[in-house]
Amino acid sequence: MDVGFRTLMLDYKRSIPLALAFIFGILYVFEWYIDIRVGTFSLSSYLETTMLDYFNAMGAMSIGIGAINVYRIHYRNVSRKRPHWEYSLIVLIMIPFMAIISTLGGRWALDPRGVIVPKWVYDNTRVIFNYFYWCVDNVASNMMFALLGFFIVSAGYRAFRARNVDAAILLITGFIVLMGNAPINSALFPFFDPIRAWIMDYWNTPAMRAVTICTAIGAMAYGVRVIFAYERRPTLAGGE
């Protein structure tokens, strides 16, 4: 009985995701080329409005599930006193704190006019929300991007070593584009601007178009494989 139930559940986990991927994949392919109408019902309008709202709702639910998962991971870190568990404790405190103040006084607060929640609650929590958003989160994000810039520079220094002819061409081209995009260097050495424009217009643009076309063809082929169940990993239908 147990083996039969597990077999049924395994078949359920395989068939439902594959069926959904096939149905919605075919619908969106036909909707792009043919507007199927039955009376006042339009498949194109339905997919662009109602189904889009469903997708947004599922995206919001996935964000909530991700937040719960993050909370569980950091709760284990704190409960088991793993290394650097103090930072996990800060995360455990800040997640519900920011959720509450953003709901009461954030940019998309539930009751900014004070119909249900008193207006003074919105006014006070909005000040707290603005402080943590602009003076903590925004500053920390800028700091992370600034640190990332140093890593990019160091990685570029290691990558732009003229070990062979190809690397030398890459190094020279990158240097010319960098000099042409820097305002102070363009003022001091204006001859870099036309060279940079020639490289970007006649070399970079065709290469990027080729990459975009190849990526689109690969995405189309991958989508066809998913629709017809040749690629089972996105649907988690492989099963064991």
Reported as a single tens digit per residue, the pLDDT across 165-186 is 887 888 888 888 877 887 777 6
Q: Provide the pLDDT confidence category of residue 10 given band limits of 50, 70 and 90.
A: low
**Final residue belonging to a domain, choices 104, 137, 159:** 159
The kind and range of the H/E element at 9 are helix 2-33
Q: Is the pLDDT of residue 96 over 80?
A: yes
| Gap between the Cα atoms of 13 and 123, Å rounded | 48
- Asked if residues 78 and 84 have their Cβ atoms less than 8 Å apart, the reply is no
240 within some domain: no
For residues 108 and 62, membership in a common domain is answered with: yes
For residues 100 and 77, membership in a common domain is answered with: yes
Could you read off the pLDDT of 206-228 as tens digits, one per residue?
999 999 999 999 988 888 887 77
| Gap between the Cα atoms of 177 and 193, Å rounded | 8
For residues 150 and 179, membership in a common domain is answered with: no
For residues 87 and 122, membership in a common domain is answered with: yes
216: domain range?
161-235
Query: Maximum CA pair distance of the chain?
Result: 82
pTM above 0.75, yes or no: no
Q: How many domains does the chain have?
A: 3
- Asked if residues 22 and 226 have their Cβ atoms less than 8 Å apart, the reply is no
For residues 37 and 58, membership in a common domain is answered with: no
Q: Is the pLDDT of residue 63 over 70?
A: yes
The token pair at 122 is 């919105």
